[in-house]
């Protein structure tokens, strides 16, 4: 599903070139549960952003579902990731002015689903995560774990093929974190491809494969 | 989708109540100003549009060309033009004349003065002033009929159904009965013709013995032209008729009075009358406003709206830091730039809508103040006009778009990678916002200086020593009196201890000419006065002597002149010089010279003046000096005396100090307008600066947190944050002060007597602006300095 060939990403600081990603070669098949691990500054988040098409590689190829992402225009690219990719952040990043229901609904609005369809899909999510009673609450009224659940619900409500998670349990305590990881496992078994970035060995163990990054390079 | 946007927008507004309120309020001020100016323009442009025949009605005006090339424009004619032009020119369908006059009306035991218009009997069919009662075709056929307005009928009779009732009016020498033949609806506010009482022109014609004189200019003549008439051909035809029929009168004027001016007649369209500044407005036509006022008012409101929009942009972009995260999120979950632009434009529309609603409320509240500033009587119902409503909708859309577009563009460009991972920094040195602040504060400084200058000049004019004593002086109008009647009146008046002295004058003064130094023509203002005039007003006689009873020939042959007269005539020894009133065949001798004093407004330099005790000039005014604190007694005593001696004379009085202040009513208006504009601009500029200051504080929150941790004190941090803005304001002051100096100088050139511009004014204005800026910024500075560094240094 995903292939990265000789991907480089760098920034120019003064006269020197600082590499964020060095010669990344990676292949990910559909249905896998990948964990990306590495110390701080190793480029994990950058790699995730490149895969998620939020950022661009400076050199190399990126093939997503056999399509060359780098060669695509902005419009095509955003259409692609809108359709296939959901993102979960460490800081949840919910829209504070919207309720739980509205937060989950928003991506469906951007995809122009009809009102009745939206209603069905959101309710399904709320049910699945046992959040029906909380649908009219605002993010600041929820605990960290609950907010992350909303973030995940929002990411998968439009049924993406790929879920990217950047340290999803980073701001949670161990009990909440475990709950999230169990959920990921379940989603993966239902067919969702998941790539997560994590610090924790314990979390990484939930995955089918682990990739280690160091200084922008894949270690093996 | 729309619902999502609206919910987000409204909840956002609610969460930032203070900012939202400032934003909305600032915008509503700008919109409100625009609404008021639309009202004003609509009113100005609508004058006289209610007449049915408006496209056919013209006023006859005259251009008077003197042999030396000077052209004088008159908006009036004599009695002859209307009937003679109508008789000779088939394209003139109808002609009416209109003359301003005063009647004395007897109401019970009181006599009051009522201004009125003499009009030809077709007046009410010619103009569209609908009658409540009576027939427009017959209303003024009888010379002893009158037409009252609704208001006047109520005032005199307590009801409007007054056909057939009688009024005792004195037009000439005696009171005569006049019958009310019609009642007209109150004339609309936007009519150039305003009156409450109409009488028949036939009465005037009879009093003048049927002699139709061409060569004076004192009444208005209106004509209706047939449709499709060529204006120029008609004007040429009119002038031919004039030159033919008035030939005898023209040559007579030239022979006996040396009147060699050439008169030509033109047609002024009715609809152009109100806004035309070429021709003077007088004789019953209400003064048109000077378009200059309109332009300036429009300019000021345009600028205020612009500033309000600029502030809106500034404040919205300033708050955008808080929205950065949301923008990143929306982009990640599928929002494209276009949808985000729509979202933010929509938000600005919602904000504008609130601002608009508030503006309507503000406009209604401000309407009375605006009416007094603009000399109008606009009412709220004026707002309900289709064209105006459309204009307001256009204004609303324009404002939303103008104010919302730039922020929408900027905000929708944020990259999710930057905003979500805290790498977001508001790029650039924010030149636009800073530039806008400089612009606003330049304007504020300019207006503050302008206000101070206008105030100073106004107070200077009011406090100027006019060279004569005008305090505690009351003026009372009397019927024509000769010297002996004046004695009688004087003795009666002085019976009360409240009145100290009095003097008398014949009416006002007027400009005339005489010959000096042989046959050199000298122009001057002439006044007829009683003997103690100069001592009453404390005007010193600097050469020769005053009029004196010891010289009985004084009253016929002596005149007193002022210093300007002497200078204009070029006399070294004025005493004994001759002034030849050649057209009256009377030669007078100068017996004294008085010091120049400012008898008219300070807007003019002192002109040559001449005083005479000629008994032909009967006294029509007395001046009374009343004792300190005895004003009410003086008023009552004078009323009683006038009633006793002249029961048919309405009692009219005023105070010299009030009359003098009225001279400067225009300046008073300027004062109001400019201070109003200055206050608004200060307020709005401070709003703008507040926004920028808070943006800066948010930007630097992290930096300030670090400084605090490293040991910086609150005052050090405050100094740090305010210095930045001080610089901006000083730049603004440097730009504005020279401009203000130039503008102030130019304005002051209009006044022969003016203040000088002290540097203190400019320094003071700069200090004031800095003060306002500091007050605004200090709130943010204190807040930033006292913030908890821990909160700001947390990283996600």
CB B15 to CB A98 under 8 A? no
The answer on pLDDT for B289 being more than 70 is: no
Max CA pair span of chain B: 109
pLDDT range class, residue B794, cuts 50, 70, 90: low
Cα separation, B273 vs B281, whole angstroms: 9
Q: Give the angle B83-B86-B89 at the CA atoms, nearest 5°.
A: 145
Give residue B613's pLDDT: 86
Cα separation, B62 vs B74, whole angstroms: 5
CB B8 to CB A97 under 8 A? yes
CB B7 to CB A94 under 8 A? no
> Average pLDDT of B710-738?
82
What percent of chain B has pLDDT above 70?
A: 95
Cα separation, B396 vs B31, whole angstroms: 8
Q: Which domain holds residue A150?
A: 31-53+74-219
Nearest to A87 among B7, B332, B796 (CB): B332
Interface test with B, best of A108, A110, A154 (most B CBs within 10 A): A110
CATH number of the domain bearing residue A144:
3.40.50.300
The answer on pLDDT for B796 being more than 50 is: no
Spatial contact of B483 and B530, defined as CB atoms under 8 Å apart: yes
Provide Rg for chain A, Cα atoms: 18
> Average pLDDT of B701-706?
75
Q: B102, B119, B124, B121: which is closest to B111 by C-alpha?
A: B102
Spatial contact of A124 and A148, defined as CB atoms under 8 Å apart: no
Give the highest mean pLDDT range of A36-45, A147-156, B282-291, B579-588. Answer: A147-156
CB B1 to CB A95 under 8 A? no
Domain ranges of chain B: 1-47+290-427, 57-272, 428-465+664-796, 473-627
pTM: 0.69
Report the Cα B4 to chain-centroid distance in Å: 51
Q: Does A54 lie at the interface with B, CB-CB under 8 angstroms?
A: yes
Cα separation, B662 vs B655, whole angstroms: 11
CB A109 to CB B330 under 8 A? no
Give residue B321's pLDDT: 65
CB B328 to CB A93 under 8 A? yes
Cα separation, B118 vs B99, whole angstroms: 5
Cα separation, B64 vs B73, whole angstroms: 6
List per-residue pLDDT tens for chain A, 220 residues long.
888 888 888 888 878 888 888 888 889 999 999 999 988 778 888 888 888 888 888 888 888 888 888 888 877 887 888 888 998 988 888 888 889 999 999 888 888 888 899 999 999 989 988 889 999 999 999 988 889 999 999 998 988 999 999 888 888 888 888 888 998 999 999 989 999 998 888 888 888 899 888 888 888 6
Cα separation, B89 vs B78, whole angstroms: 18
Residues of B with CB under 8 A from a CB of A: 1, 4, 7-8, 11-12, 15, 325-326, 328-330, 332-336, 339, 416-417, 420-421, 796
Handedness of CA B733, B735, B741, B744 (dihedral sign): negative
Residue A153 forms part of a structural domain: yes
Model confidence over B671-688: pLDDT tens digits?
A: 887 788 888 888 888 877
**What does the mean pLDDT of chain B come to?**
84
The answer on pLDDT for B184 being more than 90 is: yes
Q: Give the residues across from B180 on adjacent strands.
A: B146
- Mark which residues 168-187 of A lie under 8 Å from B by CB: none
The answer on pLDDT for B428 being more than 60 is: no
Q: Does A79 lie at the interface with B, CB-CB under 8 angstroms?
A: no
Contacting residues of B for A94, CB less than 8 Å apart: 329
Model confidence over B328-370: pLDDT tens digits?
A: 888 888 888 888 888 888 888 888 888 888 988 988 888 888 8
CB A91 to CB B796 under 8 A? yes
Residue A63 forms part of a structural domain: no
Report the Cα B648 to chain-centroid distance in Å: 36
- Say how many domains are in chain A: 1
Model confidence over B646-674: pLDDT tens digits?
A: 887 888 888 988 888 877 777 787 788 77
Spatial contact of A55 and A215, defined as CB atoms under 8 Å apart: no
Give residue B508's pLDDT: 76
Residue A105 forms part of a structural domain: yes
Nearest to A111 among B330, B334, B417 (CB): B334
Contacting residues of A for B8, CB less than 8 Å apart: 95, 97-98
- What's the ipTM? 0.83
Model confidence over B464-504: pLDDT tens digits?
A: 888 888 888 999 988 888 888 888 888 988 888 888 888 98
Residue A17 forms part of a structural domain: no
Interface test with B, best of A79, A83, A89, A93 (most B CBs within 10 A): A93
Cα separation, A19 vs A216, whole angstroms: 7
E strands, B595-726, are: 609-612, 619-626, 653-655
CB B7 to CB A97 under 8 A? yes
Model confidence over B223-249: pLDDT tens digits?
A: 999 988 888 999 999 999 999 988 888
What percent of chain B has pLDDT above 90?
A: 16
Which residues fall within 8 angstroms of residue B321, CB to CB, at 6 or more apart?
B424, B426, B695, B698, B699
Give residue B45's pLDDT: 76
Model confidence over B540-569: pLDDT tens digits?
A: 999 898 888 788 777 788 899 999 999 998
- Per DSSP, B272 falls in state G
Residue A170 forms part of a structural domain: yes
Spatial contact of B184 and B198, defined as CB atoms under 8 Å apart: yes
Q: Does A82 lie at the interface with B, CB-CB under 8 angstroms?
A: yes
Burial class (CB in 10 A: 0-12, 13-18, 19+), B86: middle
pLDDT range class, residue B423, cuts 50, 70, 90: low
pLDDT range class, residue B775, cuts 50, 70, 90: confident
């Amino acid at each position: 599903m995903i292939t990265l060939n000789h991907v480089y990403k760098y920034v120019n600081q003064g006269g020197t070139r600082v590499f964020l990603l060095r010669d990344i070669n990676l292949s990910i098949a559909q249905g896998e549960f990948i964990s990306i691990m590495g110390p701080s500054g190793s480029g994990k988040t950058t790699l995730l952003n490149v895969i998620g098409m939020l950022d661009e590689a400076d050199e190399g190829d990126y093939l997503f579902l056999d399509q060359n992402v780098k060669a695509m225009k902005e419009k095509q690219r955003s259409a692609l990731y809108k359709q296939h990719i959901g993102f979960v952040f460490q800081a949840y990043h919910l829209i504070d002015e919207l309720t739980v229901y509205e937060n989950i609904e928003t991506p469906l609005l951007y995809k122009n689903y009809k009102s009745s369809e939206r209603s069905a899909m959101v309710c399904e999510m709320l049910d699945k995560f046992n959040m029906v009673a909380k649908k009219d609450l605002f993010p600041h009224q929820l605990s960290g774990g609950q907010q992350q659940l909303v973030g995940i619900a929002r990411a998968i409500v439009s049924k993406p093929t790929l879920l990217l998670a950047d340290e999803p349990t980073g701001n949670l305590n161990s009990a909440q974190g475990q709950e999230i990881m169990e959920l990921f496992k379940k989603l993966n078994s239902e067919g969702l491809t998941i790539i997560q970035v994590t610090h924790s060995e314990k979390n990484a163990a939930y995955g089918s494969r682990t990739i280690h990054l160091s200084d922008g390079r894949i270690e093996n | 989708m729309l619902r999502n946007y609206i919910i987000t927008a409204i909840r956002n507004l609610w969460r930032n109540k203070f900012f939202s309120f400032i934003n909305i309020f600032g915008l509503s001020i700008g919109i409100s100003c625009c609404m008021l100016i639309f009202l004003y323009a609509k009113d100005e442009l609508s004058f006289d549009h209610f007449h049915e025949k408006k496209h056919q009605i013209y006023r006859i005006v005259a251009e008077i060309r003197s042999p030396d090339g000077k052209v004088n424009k008159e908006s009036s004619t004599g009695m002859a033009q209307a009937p003679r032009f109508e008789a000779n020119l088939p394209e003139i369908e109808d002609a009416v004349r209109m003359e301003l006059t005063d009647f004395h009306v007897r109401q019970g035991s009181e006599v009051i003065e009522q201004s009125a218009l003499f009009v030809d009997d077709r007046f009410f069919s010619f103009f569209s002033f609908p009658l409540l009662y009576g027939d427009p075709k017959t209303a003024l056929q009888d010379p002893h009929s009158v037409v009252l307005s609704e208001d006047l009928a109520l005032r005199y009779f307590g009801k409007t159904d007054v056909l057939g009732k009688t009024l005792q009016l004195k037009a000439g020498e005696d009171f005569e009965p006049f019958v009310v033949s019609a009642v007209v609806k109150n004339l609309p506010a936007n009519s150039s013709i305003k009156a409450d009482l109409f009488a028949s022109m036939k009465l005037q014609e009879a009093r003048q013995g049927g002699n139709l004189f061409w060569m004076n200019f004192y009444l208005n003549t209106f004509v209706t032209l047939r449709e499709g008439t060529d204006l120029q051909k008609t004007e040429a035809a009119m002038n031919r008729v004039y030159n033919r029929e008035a030939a005898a009168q023209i040559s007579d004027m030239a022979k006996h009075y040396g009147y060699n001016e050439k008169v030509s007649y033109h047609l002024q369209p009715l609809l152009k009358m109100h806004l035309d500044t070429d021709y003077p407005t007088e004789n019953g036509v209400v003064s048109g406003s000077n378009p200059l006022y309109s332009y300036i008012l429009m300019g000021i409101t345009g600028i205020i709206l612009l500033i309000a929009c600029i502030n809106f942009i500034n404040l919205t972009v300033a708050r955008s830091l808080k929205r950065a995260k949301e923008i990143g999120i929306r982009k990640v979950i599928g929002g494209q730039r276009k949808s985000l632009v729509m979202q933010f434009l929509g938000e600005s529309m919602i904000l504008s809508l609130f601002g608009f609603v508030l503006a309507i409320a503000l406009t209604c509240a401000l309407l009375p103040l605006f009416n007094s500033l603009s000399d109008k009587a606009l009412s709220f119902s004026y707002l309900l006009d289709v064209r105006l409503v459309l204009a307001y909708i256009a204004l609303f859309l324009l404002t939303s778009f103008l104010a919302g577009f730039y922020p929408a563009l900027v905000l929708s460009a944020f990259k999710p990678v930057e905003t979500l991972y805290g790498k977001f920094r508001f790029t650039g040195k924010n030149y636009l916002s800073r530039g806008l602040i400089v612009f606003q504060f330049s304007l504020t400084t300019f207006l503050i200086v302008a206000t101070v200058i206008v105030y100073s000049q106004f107070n200077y004019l009011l406090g100027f020593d006019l060279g004569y004593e005008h305090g505690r002086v009351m003026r009372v109008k009397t019927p024509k009196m000769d010297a002996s009647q004046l004695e009688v009146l004087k003795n009666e008046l002085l019976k009360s201890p409240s009145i100290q002295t009095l003097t008398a004058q014949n009416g006002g003064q007027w400009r005339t000419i005489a010959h000096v130094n042989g046959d050199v023509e000298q122009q001057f203002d002439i006044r007829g006065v009683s003997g103690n005039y100069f001592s009453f007003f404390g005007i010193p006689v600097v050469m020769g002597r005053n009029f004196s009873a010891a010289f009985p020939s004084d009253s016929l042959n002596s005149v007193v002149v002022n210093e300007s007269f002497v200078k204009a005539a070029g006399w070294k020894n004025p005493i004994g010089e001759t002034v030849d009133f050649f057209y009256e065949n009377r030669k007078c001798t100068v017996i004294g010279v008085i010091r120049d004093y400012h008898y008219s407004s300070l807007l003019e330099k002192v002109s040559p003046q001449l005083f005479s005790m000629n008994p032909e000039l009967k006294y029509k005014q007395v001046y009374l000096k009343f004792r300190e604190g005895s004003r009410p007694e003086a008023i009552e005593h004078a009323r009683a005396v006038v009633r006793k001696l002249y029961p048919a004379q309405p009692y009219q009085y005023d105070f010299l100090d009030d009359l003098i202040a009225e001279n400067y009513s225009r300046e008073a208006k300027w004062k109001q307008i400019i201070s109003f504009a200055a206050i608004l601009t200060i307020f709005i500029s401070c709003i703008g600066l507040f926004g920028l200051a808070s943006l800066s504080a948010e930007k630097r929150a992290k930096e300030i947190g670090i400084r605090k941790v490293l040991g910086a004190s609150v005052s050090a941090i405050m100094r740090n944050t305010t210095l930045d803005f001080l610089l901006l304001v000083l730049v603004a002051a440097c730009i504005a002060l020279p401009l203000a100096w130039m503008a102030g100088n130019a304005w002051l050139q209009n006044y022969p007597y003016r203040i000088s511009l002290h540097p203190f004014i400019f320094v003071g204005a700069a200090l004031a602006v800095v003060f306002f800026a500091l007050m605004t910024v200090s709130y943010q500075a204190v807040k930033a300095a006292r913030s908890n560094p821990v909160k700001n240094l947390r990283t996600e």
